[in-house]
Chains A and B, each alone.
Chain A
Amino acid sequence: MSRFRTEAGGRVKRDKVLSFTFDGVAYQGLTGDTLASALLANGVHLVGRSFKYHRPRGIVTAGPEDQNALITLRRDAARETPNLRATQVELYQGLEAESQNRWPSLKFDVNAINGLASSLFVSGFYYKTFMWPRSFWKNVYEPRIRAAAGLGKAPAKADPDRYTSRYVHCDVLVIGAGPAGLTAALAAKEAGATVILADEGAEFGGSLLGDAVTTIEGKSTDAWMSDVVMNLAMSDKVRMLARTTAFGYFADNFVALVERVTDHLAAPSDALPRERLWQVRAKQVILATGALERPLVFPENDRPGIMMAEAGRSFLNRYGVKVGLRAVVFTATDSAYRAAIDLKQAGVDIQLIADLRARPPADVVDEALACGLTVRAASTLCGTQGGLRVSAAEVGEVNGDLTIGRKEVVDCDVVLMSGGWTPNINLHSQSRGRLIYNETTQNFLPGAPGYDNVSIGACKGTYDLSATMNEGYAAGEAAARASGRKGGMKKGFSSLGGLAMGGGHLGVVPHDRDPGRVKAFVDFQHDVTAKDIKLATREGFQSIEHVKRFTTTGMATDQGKTSNMNALAIAAKAIGKAIPEVGLTTFRLPYTPTTFGNFAGTARGDLFDPIRKTPMHDWAAAQGAPFENVALWKRAWYFPKAGEDMHAAVNRECKTVRTTVGMFDASTLGKIEVVGPDAAEFMNRMYVNPWTKLEIGRCRYGIMCRDDGFVYDDGVVGRMAADRFHVTTTTGGAPRVMNLMEDYLQTEFTDLKVFLTSTTEQWAVIAVQGPKAREVLAPLVEGIDIGKDAMPHMSVREGRICGVPTRLFRISFTGELGFEVNVPADYGQGVLDAIWREVREAGGCAYGTEAMHVLRAEKGYIIVGQDTDGTLTPDEAGVGWAVGKAKADFLGKRGLMRPDLTGPSRKQLIGLLTVDPKRVPDEGAQLVASAAPAKGSHALGHVTSAYWSENLGRSIAMAQLENGRARLGETVYITSLTGAAFPAVVADPIFYDKAGARIDV
């Protein structure tokens, strides 16, 4: 066993030895170790390099707040996780870890030269240094900065692990399972509440896990904790979540927890997710998140081997690891004395305790002296020595005027520091709780909470152990009562020997070094020193939020857990304001870095976004059709035959529809059933058209505006009965049309008796279009006379097709004789098969959305959302004839009376025929008055639709053009992305069969 491992004690299993590697070197540790404790047991302190100067950095804490001990864990090529804190990584057999931010090796890093040139790297250096020349930014500076910066590497392969999510409700959520959290959970449970107890550690107990001397209720902490944890675990009302971090506190007590399910296992089962996201809605939340020990800001305080005093004690008592053999303790608090005593009793040579305070409490000092320790009051560290590990500390006497008196260099291999305790108010602050600043203890404490929560124990500034447990129990009882449980119990706890946590110091300690040159680090990970913060204030940054962004202090992966208070104190002093006046930066989620997998959960790959398929989707796929996305729908785009490209297929489909017949899946059209005694009046008010006189069995092309008078949606509407309309909408517009209808029905037209049902997915719709459409359907339809006179254009009939009930529409979006067969969705494929047989027999084809677009454009039929854009009135879109001018009111009637909707600057939809018939304009291209318009000229409009028309043997286009209808026959120019603007003649947008003779057959 290594000389850094104690003979006995701690919570590690000494008979269960584990092998692991760090940067390829093999080491051994014990079951129960973290990666940090196992490395320290092997005498390894150097674990990483800092962000900016690439300075060697060691393990500083024993917990998740560590800024330095960031490593990459590797299971295989796809399972590489960067930026894990070695202090949180549980050791398993075969673990492979690597240090980060170093090249070529941790011990020799080329970029450490940054440290020698550090005068260039002052705060704000990115903003200042790389500004000139401008052209260098993209190609020279940025790639180099990116290569040098960044912590760790993202894995190059897709994450093979599973991440799951659960929603749960509970009466009381307790966050943190130290002495406060355990007693709170106990009380809530005894009061009959449903409880969730979450702790980020592998074991419950918090600070008690590193405590060997304290007794509670006459028992050892170990025995007391085991009893309480067992008691809670036996209850079916308590859910205990270890390895679970509460990382986000959202409105109304919605708290997000991430449970790390398999990261600690050597060979995780495939049945387990890697992480589980718990989304908890709690009636009451109890925050028992403890306090974090602060570093002291002294010159060269960043050498490996310099760490928090309580971390040294925790490594000893919990893991049986001596963090060094010869220690100097530098403190401003009482708690470090306990660390010194514990380490001395374990055989570590404590050179001296240097206490920054002139008069440390006598009882604390006396206890240390009785244990044979040397204590020097009014002492500071003016610097440290050593390369990859601290080798000596320069201890100096602090005179009354804060100058430095006698100095002495003391050999050591570890410095244990303690600058005081910062209550961990992160979640309280996230929950929008107010803050209190205690001037005596120089701490921010939780004030009035933002939601139903309460902070207890050290996170509230209560440090005495018995008081903490009493507070916990009372809070648990009160929370249970507030959530509707009985409660009423009282209990007091007695403990002996808890940690004294008084004292503390904020900001730079007194020293005799040149403050303009020496590095006294505040934020270890981002290399922010005291002088960087002072520089920021000299440059005029007065708000701590600005100082933070300029210096990047507190912006590292730890979000300033250990550095914020020191940074704030230094800034406040430099600005000459009190700490609370400068203000604390806002705490943001996540509390600790959280994987993307946790947020993505199962929403990845095919499940990332829902897709909608028509009932005939698989048939189209089997025909070889590619699909295009329309809203969430997949729509068959075209149906290529062997050897055909898209262009050839679309040309053939367009020709076939106009010469024989084509079949098209129109199921994605939105469909709304409008029913009720006032259905016609409702339609009158929602659509610009009049509906009262529409006969049963007839259809009308409806235009919907919003109250602003602009076209919002369109579609054919069939009247099925006096009180029933079958309304169709655009594919993408269906949800918003339904929402708008509901809005007016529920809040504006409350006098109308109507109900609305979305039937989009209930109907499969097969359009049959072309001269032979009637011939195709005739053998299949039962009970409907589809003859020319019996069933004219724009009519709808109910009957059967292939034995299936149908609403058969005679309508056309192609300009040819056409029908749309609506059948219940489940029969869609069967009916399509029958129609498809007839279509092929008739020499027809299936066509997709591209041919549909071309065919409708040949007829000048608009597509709302493509040819209109929310700025065209019905008249401007060429459908002004639809407006029922005699109606008293409808959506858009008042809007259309606005004076700004008239005049020559308004655009109108027109057709364009390019002078070169082979040239197809770009959709979206601007229209200009001349081939080479002067820079800054005014665009007259833009192309909305443009296609090659095989039927016409030329290109066709539609466009919005200022005063367009008055310009018929004029030439305008269409801009191009590839060359000069080219001419086109303004034309009527109906390019084919202007008289409409083909439809009426």
Chain B
Amino acid sequence: MIDFEISAEDKVKVEEAHEIAQNLFRPISRYYDEHEHEDPMDLIDTMWKMRGKGFLTGLGITGALMVEELCWGDAGLYLASPGPGLGGAAVFAAGTQEQWGRFLARYGEGKPKWGAMAMTEPGCGSDTSAIQATAVRDGDYWVLNGEKIFVTMGRRALELSEGIIVVWATVDKSAGRAGMKSFVVEAGTPGMKVEKQEKKLGIKASDTVTVVFDNCRIPFNNILGKAEIKTKTEGFKGAMATFDVTRPLVAAQALGVTRAALDMLRDELTKRGIKVRYDVPRSKQTAIERDFMEMESNWRAAHLLVIRAMWQLQGGTPNALEASMAKAKAGRAATLITQRAVELMGPLGYSRKLLFEKFMRDAKINDIFEGTGQINTLVVARRLLGYSRDQLK
């Protein structure tokens, strides 16, 4: 059935997420934007306690809706909230049940913990097949070497808590993509060091660090998926399966920031006595009405694309095409809509007194991480055309 009705249970969860966003995130939103590398300890404790009581976003439609709400509050603080994060999603998508227990149980007990995922390196981002980090088998161990950059939540996962990081490395450079595997490294493992912490344009409450592996030894069974190199693309499939989940989730983050800008814009317009008249013909619309409708419809369309990708995921339908469609659309829409909101609000938009300029800075990352807009468009194009990587580069 075609149906847009959210179940009553989900409504409660989404409302709860909205309240957290409104009451816990928004009041400290500007502070942690201006104090980049501080840890919001009160919020971290509160979010961890709520997690213990069952406030989990999860990976389906409900999860996407909740993430949108939380990022409506503050995208950086959402990322800074403790939990398994992208590392957890990777373990969940590619790990065994034993690994779920060993690596994920910690997120339901003890002190706050974070999880991280490290793919990007100084020499490669979009071209993930070019990664240089290596994993060499040594008896019951793997030995990791290499440098990972731009690791979201790397510092909090590895230095502030006993979290995990999922690291992509190659077990055989000559095997190309097929040699790529992912490994779980626990905080405190010797040979792993957190280095440079990035200063960023936005999502400043989220930490982004370099993690260096220097003969870092981890147990053999910390590999996610099989150790053998079987088919040409097998290793990479793990990463792709993760993307099916994480791309719509990151798209949902984008939608949250976007809606925050739209809501605030509507409020400011209302203060000036302007109400968007949806049903007037184009020839009679004001420029603001025309822009607003374009912005709102783009946000909503992206929202529905995200929900559709999640609905497929829940139903076990392959969604790689639709997940990338949603991410490409949402990343671009977020970028353009938040920029337009700053423009429309003039001096109020550009000023740091209000949050419009922050929304614009926070939104931009969504068109970059978890596959840039171009990379997601490329995925969509290849799938539509039935082309391989070699046929469409």
Q: Does B associate with A?
A: no
Give residues in B with beta carbon < 8 Å to A. Answer: none
